[in-house]
Amino acid sequence: MNPIHAPFPLSRSRRLRRTPWMRDLVRETALGVSDLIWPIFIREGEGIREPVASLPGVDRLSIDNAAIAAEEAATLGIPVIALFPYTDPAKKTPDAAEAWNMENLVNRATRAIKAKVPDIGIMLDVALDPYNSDGHDGIVRDGIILNDETLMALEKQTLAQAESGADILGPSDMMDGRIGIMRQALESHDFADVAIMSYSAKYASAFYGPFRDAVGANGALKGDKKTYQMDFGNTDEALREVAKDLSEGADMVMVKPGMPYLDVCQRVKSEFGVPTFAYQVSGEYAMICAAGQNGWIDQDAAMLESLGAFKRAGCDGILTYFANRTARILLNEDL
């Protein structure tokens, strides 16, 4: 594109910035409530709202309170909630068998929420780290994360979550071949309508710490995840990962983390033209909150600017812990 402008003073860029309504009129990208996915942490118990110290304003919720949050999301027009479990350490094992237990926390929560708020979309994480005593996304043997053995576990987890009523499955494990295994399992067990949003470009990042606190994985993790999550220096590799996942049956793709990887978001959307999402991860959220609480930035303004950046980069939607607050601001509701 080679825009042509008349010379100054015939052309004055500030004419289109003069008033709020004029800026709204010519804005190239806009953030809406329907762009938001709200991640929610759940835990055992009843009537529980347990603050996560490293995520200001975020609580672990018992299933009954998670259902109330789902009602709030539906009322605000947030289309999807994503559930993440805080698993009892006693249920974590080397084979991560709790991942496909039909009575595990996320599966019970999914059924309870669907019974109360049937029209809310529910997204579940397909990975073993909440259930693995080693804290890894795959099965570990002699310090090695085993790819193909993990695929068999992920297949069982996929079917348990689909049976429980999940609408979207989000494989975040970064094992090779998992999308094909999941898609084939869903098709062969009459779950053809369950969508897959693949964490296609998930980087080994320093921004995940508060999330690991929230799901209780920090203490369990042995070593790091660099043998399966991506190196932050690579972008061509991200395109290869996305292409592979699409060829195996992914419906949507995700880049994670978010703001440090806007270039990757833009490349993915431009190259493939498929529904593209980003996860504004816990470290990004915590930094904005901490700076806001200290009076160093305007938290709400920074929040909206950061989310607008995802849309500008080409994302169709964003997973963000700011989802409910953002929705209220966009809808001009009292906070």
Distance, CA of 48 to CA of 110 (rounded, Å): 17
Burial of 195 (0-12, 13-18, 19+ CB in 10 A): middle
pLDDT digits (tens, 9 = 90+) for 71-111: 999 999 999 999 999 999 999 999 999 999 999 999 999 99
Report which DSSP code applies to 198: E
pLDDT score of 126? 97
pLDDT score of 292? 97
Evaluate whether residue 25 is within a structural domain. Answer: no
* CATH code of the domain containing 207: 3.20.20.70
Evaluate whether residue 155 is within a structural domain. Answer: yes
Evaluate whether residue 162 is within a structural domain. Answer: yes
Evaluate whether residue 18 is within a structural domain. Answer: no
> One of 92, 114, 225, 256 is an active-site residue; which one?
256
pLDDT score of 335? 66
pLDDT digits (tens, 9 = 90+) for 136-176: 999 999 999 999 999 999 999 999 999 999 999 999 999 99
Distance, CA of 277 to CA of 254 (rounded, Å): 5
pTM: 0.95
- H helices of 138-281, where? 147-164, 178-188, 209-215, 236-248, 262-272
Tokens representing residue 147 in the block = 């790819």
> How many structural domains compose the chain?
1
DSSP SS3 for 23: helix
Sites in the chain below the pLDDT cut of 70: 1, 219, 335
Evaluate whether residue 116 is within a structural domain. Answer: yes
Evaluate whether residue 17 is within a structural domain. Answer: no
Evaluate whether residue 131 is within a structural domain. Answer: yes
pLDDT score of 295? 97
Active site residue 225: no
Q: List the domain range (segments joined by +) for residue 270.
A: 30-330
Active site residue 244: no
Evaluate whether residue 118 is within a structural domain. Answer: yes
> One of 202, 225, 269, 311 is an active-site residue; which one?
202
Distance, CA of 10 to CA of 108 (rounded, Å): 65
